[in-house]
Structure formats: C-alpha cells, structure tokens
Amino acid sequence: MNMDLKTKKAFTLAELAVVFVIIALIAVAGIKITKSRTNHVNKYMSYAAFTNLKQGMGELIADNKTLPAYGVAPSTVTCNAPPSISVTPATSSASIPYTASASQTTGTFNVVGTGGTGTVTITSPTVPSGGSVTMSPTSFTIANGGTQTVSFTATSPANSESTSTFTFGFSASIADGNSATHNHTQNRSAAPLTPDPSATCDDSGVTFTNLQVASADTAVSAIYTCSDTTWDSHTTANIYCATNYWAGAKKACYDTASTPLHQWRLPTKNELCSMYKYRAYISAPMSAAFYWSATEYTAHLAWTQHFNTGYQSNDLKYGHDIVRCVR
C-alpha cells in the first residue's frame, strides 16, 4: 500500500519535470522568433524613416526653403518672397522766397531694398504742367538690405512767381516686386504787401494779412433803436435812437448769411484804415465812399473811413454809410 503511493509520487514528479522542460523549450523558441521579428520590424522602420527624411529634404531643396540652425525654433518660413523696396522719407518740402529769380528746389530720398535683389527704376514723376524735374540716378541695382540715394531738382511752371504750392510725385519700383513713392511739395512765398504810401490814418495794432474781408458790401435792411443795447449801449444818451443805422450796421454784419454765421463783425476804426492802405489786395473793390466802423466817437457819433481820399471822420449814427464786414 505504501509502495504504491511512493511509486505514484515519483512518477508524478517525473511528469512535472518533463512538462517544465517542454515549457522551457517552447519559451526559448518563442524568444528567438520574437527577436527575429523585432529585428525585422526595426530594420523596416529605420528604412521607412530614412526614406521619409530623404523625401522631405528633397522637397525643401526644390521649394527653396531653409532649415533653422540646430537647436533654434523655426520662425515663419517665407516661400518665394518677391523682392520689395521702401522709400524714406515718404515726403519732403521746400520753400522758395519771393525774391528768388527761379522757382526751383532740390531734395533727396533713399530707396531701401528689403526682400531681394533686382533693378530699381525711378518712373516718370508727376510734374505740374509747365514744370520740370531732373533725377540722379534714374535706375540702379540694389541688393537685399542695400540703400540707394536719389537726388532731384524740381522746377515750378513759368509765371508762378507768387503764392503757389506745387507737388512733385516720384515712384520707385523693383522688378518682380512692389513699388514705393515720394512726394515733394514746393511752396512759393508771396511778395510782402505794399501799403498805399499816401495813407496817413492810424492802423496800429492791425495786421492786414490776418484780417479776412467780406467779398461784398452788406446791406442794412432795418433800423435798430437804442432799446437794443447789444448794438448801442448809450440808450437815451443817443439822441438819434429812432433812426440808428450805425447800430443796424453792426447787427447786419452779425446776421450776415455768409458761413460761418455770427462770426462776421463791423471793422474797427484802425481796421478800416488798414483796409484802405491795402485796398489793392482786397478781392472785391471798395466803393469810393464812406464806410462805417464799429468805433464810437460819442453817444450819437461813430467813426467812418472814406475809400477815395483815405480821410477818416465821424458821422451821426443815423447816417446811411456803407458796410463791409470782416472777421
């Protein structure tokens, strides 16, 4: 009974040993197979990666792209960027004194290449009718980042020897690229105004060029009595309140229909004198008659200016004198 149990136990151990041996053999075989397959896969993957890298490099070269330096993050890649230029400064100006014998100015501007190499040609500039311009150089080759200075001489049209403004336009363009412009403004100053040497009235404190004179006389269509203290503050002291045309003249200038409204006024005594001295420069001629001023002489008298003799006098406020507004 005991022998049978021992024999069976030994047999069982032998069987287990055989099983373990079989399992070990299978494991070794599996490892070899797996290793072989892994090596095959690794070789395939390495070949595929190399093929993709080669194809990618070919595309970069064909498209004229550049790779960043090692360890540097790539910035925006520009593909086939066209050449470009800029002009600095974009504008220039020059003044011609009224004493100059010729309306001529000179200047320069810089053309800067910012994106490539190409031939830059200064196109025909916009020249005022009757004027002329010369440039140097008129064409040149500019490299990437290079600068070319262009010099020019601009001459205004004939018969422009007075107040005038002329603009000369220049355009620089690059082959297969863009263009940029430069505008030169030429200002011709006017000769100083010459007053009438025979005028003896007082225009102190007045600059005629700062005075805008209305283009026509203003009619006084209504009489304003002294009850309207906005235009005549002397009220009962003015014995001519019932026929106060002088106050009407002040009100008429204020209410003129010219634009902007309520900015016109009756000129002062000294302003009227300045208007007389420089009457040759007033676009709408003044009449050879007396004009009202806003300057009072007494409660019932105000100053006037005669535009024929230059004589200043005072007139009763009921007088029908002419009105020319200013601002």
Shared-domain flag, residues 271 and 309: yes
| φ and ψ at residue 98, rounded to 5 degrees | -65, -20
- Structural domain ending residue among the three candidates 160, 188, 216: 188
Residue 162 has pLDDT above 90, yes or no: no
pLDDT for the residue numbered 87: 94
Tell me if residue 227 falls in helix, strand or coil: coil
- Domain annotation covers residue 201: no
Shared-domain flag, residues 54 and 98: no
More confident residue, 83 or 22: 83
CA distance 68 to 54: 17
Tell me the average pLDDT across 143-170: 84
Do residues 256 and 214 make contact, with C-beta atoms less than 8 angstroms apart? yes
Residue range(s) defining the domain that contains residue 60: 1-66
In the chain, the percentage of residues whose pLDDT exceeds 70 is 72
Identify the CA nearest to 90 among candidates 185, 155, 154, 187.
185
- Domain annotation covers residue 77: no
Do residues 135 and 150 make contact, with C-beta atoms less than 8 angstroms apart? yes
- Residue 6 has, within 13 A of its CA and on its CB side, a CA count of 3
- Domain annotation covers residue 297: yes
- Domain annotation covers residue 196: no
Q: Model's pTM, two decimal places?
A: 0.50
Kindly state the tokens that stand for 197: 């040497």
Shared-domain flag, residues 33 and 97: no
Tell me if residue 71 falls in helix, strand or coil: coil
Residue 7 has pLDDT above 60, yes or no: no
pLDDT for the residue numbered 201: 96
Alpha helical stretches, state H, 63-176? none
Number of structural domains in the chain: 3
Tell me if residue 242 falls in helix, strand or coil: helix
Do residues 266 and 250 make contact, with C-beta atoms less than 8 angstroms apart? yes
More confident residue, 308 or 29: 308
- Domain annotation covers residue 200: no
Task: State the CATH number of the domain containing residue 168.
Answer: 2.60.40.2310
Shared-domain flag, residues 216 and 305: yes
Shared-domain flag, residues 30 and 125: no
- Domain annotation covers residue 75: no
Residue 172 has pLDDT above 70, yes or no: yes
- Quickly state the pLDDT bin for 13 (edges 50, 70, 90): low
- Domain annotation covers residue 79: no
Shared-domain flag, residues 103 and 61: no
Kindly state the tokens that stand for 145: 């980042």
Shared-domain flag, residues 110 and 176: yes
CA distance 200 to 115: 69
pLDDT for the residue numbered 63: 54
Residue 79 has pLDDT above 50, yes or no: yes
Shared-domain flag, residues 312 and 214: yes
Shared-domain flag, residues 273 and 184: no
Shared-domain flag, residues 307 and 241: yes
- Structural domain ending residue among the three candidates 66, 95, 111: 66
| φ and ψ at residue 280, rounded to 5 degrees | -65, -20
Tell me the average pLDDT across 95-115: 86
Tell me if residue 179 falls in helix, strand or coil: strand
Kindly state the tokens that stand for 136: 């140097």
- Quickly state the pLDDT bin for 5 (edges 50, 70, 90): very low
Shared-domain flag, residues 219 and 307: yes
Kindly state the tokens that stand for 65: 């792209």
- Domain annotation covers residue 71: no
In the chain, the percentage of residues whose pLDDT exceeds 90 is 41
Whether cis (ω within 30° of 0) applies to the bond prior to 285 is no
Cα 129 from chain centroid? 25
Q: Render pLDDT for 281-317 as a digit per residue (tens, 0 to 9).
A: 998 999 999 999 999 999 999 999 999 999 999 999 9
Q: Render pLDDT for 221-274 as a digit per residue (tens, 0 to 9).
A: 777 777 778 888 887 788 888 889 999 999 899 887 666 667 899 999 999 999
Shared-domain flag, residues 149 and 61: no
